[in-house]
Amino acid sequence: MVQRVDHSFKAMGGPARFRMEVDDVGLADVAVTAAVAEVERLERKYSRYLDDSLTSRINLAAGTGQVVTIDAETAGLLHYATTVWRESGGLFDLTSGVLRRAWDFRSGRLPEQSEIDAILPLVGWDKVEWDERGVCLPIEGMELDFGGCVKEYAADSAAAQLQRSGVQCALVDLAGDMAAAGAPLQGAGWPIGIRHPRARDSAAATVILPRGGLASSGDYERCMEIDGVRYGHILNPTTGWPVGGLVAVSVLAEQCLVAGSAASVAMLKPAPQGLEWLGGLGLPWLAIDRDLQCHGNLLEAGSD
Amino acid sequence: MTVKTAVAGLVLVLLCGCETVQPWERGLLAKKDMQWTPNIMDARLRSQIYASKEASSGGAGAAGGGCGCN
Amino acid sequence: MATNKNDRNPALMALTSSALLLPAYQGAQADAPPEFAEAGMQYSKYKEDDITAKKAFGFTDSTRQRFDIDVAQFHLLAPVLDDWSVAVDVAWEDMSGASPWFVGESASGDPKVIMSGASIEDNRTEVSVTTRYYFDRGNSGLSLTYSDEDDYESKAAAFDGAFNSADGMTTYSGAISYSDDHIDPTQGAVPTNTTSASKDIYSAWAGVTRIVSKRAIVRFGLSYTYRDGFLTDPYKFRDSRPNERKEWVASGGYRRYFEEQNSALHVDYRYFNDDWDVQSHTLDVAWVWDYSPAVTYTPFIRYYTQHEAEFFNNLAQQDQRYFSDDYRLSAFGAFSYGLRASRKIQNWEVSVDAERYRTDESWGVFSGEESPGLVDFWRYGIGLNYIFK
């Protein structure tokens, strides 16, 4: 008898959930343990909040000239980040996180241009020195932040781990980043509600995820409103100012990682260019602009 | 039908375009259900039984050894 | 995924191909040894229907009994070192029963079989070991097989290789094999037409596998087999066959996955042709249905039809150089159908299967004399597999 098993836990700073259909609950337990361990492994390795993570060690060594040794997985992520950086025309940048020092979205205060100007020299993927064996941040104060891709990668990796452990139908949900390994028996795929950008708990739409990944990016997560102008947390790495493009983007792809990057890049572009980028990729997508208009083909696109 | 017709058919099918399927799109093809021989023991037994009751054998890769059954 | 038309968008291609270098996506892409070792056992019962009184001489049921075989199989596949795997296959067979000895003419003029009597008892043991090496673009295997029974011994070696094209869309495969066989017929039950003989079998095979779409894959193969030596059935009274046989086989296979049904369609076709004037068509169709993540049902149907050998006659023409009344060389058609069901329980998989095989001259596409010796049989099996993970 096939049973539905859900497992909720906290990981990567948010709620995480595995949804599975299994024949044997004992097998699910073993699989869940292995997949949770995989998510935790990636969190320990790449979280910038943990002092002993690889990311913290790289950031701590910034400006010292010290090259921090990396493994193949990290080199793979850096290589991937380079590709996204190039394809986005430099908008997607793992070093742009330092701009947070100027922007405090809880303060309700805009930063001075001089504060931003002081930080901008620390931003720029092309300044990072790295190869397959090691990475070095040349300027003191520079920071790498894998936040823009590790959660998506972890969702894919956890889904792959569940499948390797024998779970054929599983959906991994890491705070909105989804990866499906096999569709459930009933229906064409996993039904997923996509949140409305201005209403916290209501779903804007439901999409069916047959397999692969779905990632969403939105500026509703952290923002402030000053004199009627919304300042979202998505910052342009060259100007240091919020982009002011699309409000929310969801993309479906074979990998959650690719879906996530496609959505992030769309958010980093001005709205018209963001929509153009999404349309050109050929992936199912949904975008909501500042006037709360919906764009994209995600809602018509089911499984082909 | 002759062997020549079969070969001609083979060449035809191989020449006419198959859509390019990228490595990351080959998940379904990699499923166990899609293998040429999903169950080795079953395939061995069946091919041996058929070969011992019919005048034909082989054609599915390397030939195995003979047995006294035919 | 939903849209294919823009699959070649350069940005998406760049993102996807660099993502796939990451460890999480290194699944079943390159040729790699199996991840886990697996072992399996299967027990099968093969039982031929009794020959009907209309088709055989004899007065009691026992004289109409045909073959029963009990088969136990063992399979082990294990990864070794980084790039190798070893597979061991063992089969034990316990055979008993009778087979047609010769065909005679009844009082009414119909051909009828004279059975050899329930006297044949034989055991066969076959051991096959295959080592396989995996490299970036393919794999290559060497297998040695030894089969031994009371009256027959076979030693065979086969070498095969598979190479993938740079884009992985096409796989080219090839195989060669050689078998050295000896026959020492058991004396006693029926007179035999040799006391000791041997034959050599040489075979070569080439195949091409091609990905057709995300859901379908197709394969073509051609093979040639040359048999040289004593090819006559030693236990048949009226049997004398040429000392060589050249066989050609063309085959095609197709696999397609249906996501809505969680099923895979398997279609295999084979055309066989030899210089004894035998030719045959074989069509095998199976539907592998994943009823649930743990339960799989595989119904299958097979059709076979063959043209008779040029020297086949029900009443063997013993004045000719070659002659045989062996039903296996007659023209006939055969339908078989069956079902396999398997269930996974953690690392175990239990399977049961049954198959019914029926023959009739009128089912064939080639006409010929109907042999009274045509065989129908049942096969049942139960198997157990274990994955070491």
Tell whether A254 is within 8 A of chain B (Cβ).
yes
Bridge partners, residue C132, by sequence: C85, C141
Distance spanning both ends of chain B, measured CA to CA: 26
**Whole-Å CA distances, A158 to A25, A34, A189:** 18, 8, 18
Touching C: A residues 202-261, CB under 8 Å: 210, 212, 252-255, 257-258, 261
Residue A165 contacts residue A34 (beta carbons within 8 Å): yes
CA distance C376 to chain A (A): 37
CATH fold of the domain at A187-304: T-fold (3.10.520)
Task: Please list every residue in chain B whose beta carbon sits closer than 8 Å to the beta carbon of residue C295.
Answer: none
In chain A, the residue whose alpha carbon lies closest to the alpha carbon of C5 is A282
Partners of chain B (3+ Cβ pairs below 8 A): A, C
Which tokens is B14 given? 């191989």
A169-174: strand order across its sheet: A3-11, A14-22, A169-174, A177-181, A212-218, A248-253, A285-288, A294-295
pTM of the entire structure? 0.65
Q: Which of A156, A168, A254 to mutate to test the interface with B (most CBs of B within 10 A)?
A: A254
> What are the extents of the domains in chain C?
10-388
Tell whether B25 is within 8 A of chain A (Cβ).
yes
Pick the CATH number of C10-388 from 2.40.160.40, 3.30.1330.50, 3.40.1160.10, 3.40.50.300: 2.40.160.40
Tell whether C18 is within 8 A of chain A (Cβ).
yes
Other CB atoms within 10 A of residue A304 CB: 11
Tell whether C28 is within 8 A of chain A (Cβ).
no
Position C23, amino acid: P
Query: Between chains, do B27 and A255 touch, taking CB under 8 Å as contact?
Result: no
Q: Which of B24, B25, B31, B32 to mutate to test the interface with A (most CBs of A within 10 A)?
A: B24
Half-sphere exposure of A258 (CA within 13 A, CB side): 27
Task: Please list every residue in chain C whose beta carbon sits closer than 8 Å to the beta carbon of residue A280.
Answer: 6, 9, 11
Position C44, amino acid: S
**Whole-Å CA distances, C154 to B68, C127, C147, C226:** 9, 11, 5, 16
Task: Please list every residue in chain B whose beta carbon sits closer than 8 Å to the beta carbon of residue C298.
Answer: 38
Q: Are strands C37-48 and A169-174 parallel, antiparallel or unpaired?
A: unpaired
Higher pLDDT pick, C186 / C159: C159
Q: CA C76 from chain center: how many Å? A: 19
CA distance B42 to chain A (A): 23
pLDDT, tens digit (0-9, with 9 covering 90-100), for B11-41: 666 555 567 776 556 767 878 889 999 899 9
Residue C253 contacts residue C245 (beta carbons within 8 Å): no
pLDDT, tens digit (0-9, with 9 covering 90-100), for C309-355: 999 998 878 888 999 999 999 999 999 999 999 998 888 999 999 99
DSSP 8-state class, residue A292: -
Name which of A227, A300, A222 is nearest A267 in CA terms.
A222
Of B31, B46, B53, the CB nearest to C257: B31
DSSP 8-state class, residue A265: H
Bridge partners, residue A204, by sequence: none
Tell whether A80 is within 8 A of chain B (Cβ).
no
Spatial distance between the Cα atoms of C59 and C115, rounded to a whole number of angstroms: 12
Higher pLDDT pick, B11 / C75: C75
Query: Between chains, do A301 and C2 touch, taking CB under 8 Å as contact?
Result: yes
Q: How many residues does chain A have?
A: 304
Q: Which residues make Cβ contacts (< 8 Å) with residue A194, sequence separation at least 6?
A: A203, A204, A205, A206, A207, A216, A250, A286
Tell whether B24 is within 8 A of chain A (Cβ).
yes
State the average pLDDT for chain A. Answer: 88
ipTM of the complex: 0.91
> Which of C133-137, C206-210, C232-236, C369-373 tops mean pLDDT?
C206-210
Q: Do A187-304 and A54-144 have the same topology in CATH?
A: no
Spatial distance between the Cα atoms of A146 and A149, rounded to a whole number of angstroms: 6
Tell whether C108 is within 8 A of chain A (Cβ).
no
pLDDT, average across residues C81-98:
91
Task: Please list every residue in chain A whose beta carbon sits closer than 8 Å to the beta carbon of residue C3.
Answer: 282-284, 297, 301, 304
Query: Between chains, do A2 and C14 touch, taking CB under 8 Å as contact?
Result: no
Pick the CATH number of A54-144 from 1.10.3980.10, 3.40.50.150, 1.10.3720.10, 3.40.309.10: 1.10.3980.10
Higher pLDDT pick, B31 / A79: A79
Partners of chain C (3+ Cβ pairs below 8 A): A, B
Spatial distance between the Cα atoms of C276 and A102, rounded to a whole number of angstroms: 89
Q: Which residues make Cβ contacts (< 8 Å) with residue C114, sequence separation at least 6?
A: C56, C57, C58, C100, C101, C102, C103, C104, C237
Chains B and C form CB pairs within 8 A to the count of 230
Higher pLDDT pick, A26 / A34: A34
* The pLDDT of residue C6: 44
Of C15, C27, C259, the CB nearest to A261: C15
Spatial distance between the Cα atoms of C358 and C338, rounded to a whole number of angstroms: 12
Spatial distance between the Cα atoms of C139 and C42, rounded to a whole number of angstroms: 27
Give the pLDDT band (50/70/90) at residue C25: confident
Alpha helices in chain A (DSSP H): 25-46, 54-60, 72-87, 113-119, 150-164, 256-268, 271-281
Spatial distance between the Cα atoms of C23 and A257, rounded to a whole number of angstroms: 13
Residue C352 contacts residue C338 (beta carbons within 8 Å): no
Tell whether B54 is within 8 A of chain C (Cβ).
yes
pLDDT, tens digit (0-9, with 9 covering 90-100), for A177-220: 999 987 787 777 888 887 766 665 666 678 888 888 999 988 77
* The pLDDT of residue C1: 42
Spatial distance between the Cα atoms of C312 and C292, rounded to a whole number of angstroms: 50
> What are the extents of the domains in chain A?
54-144, 187-304
Share of chain A above pLDDT 70, in %: 94
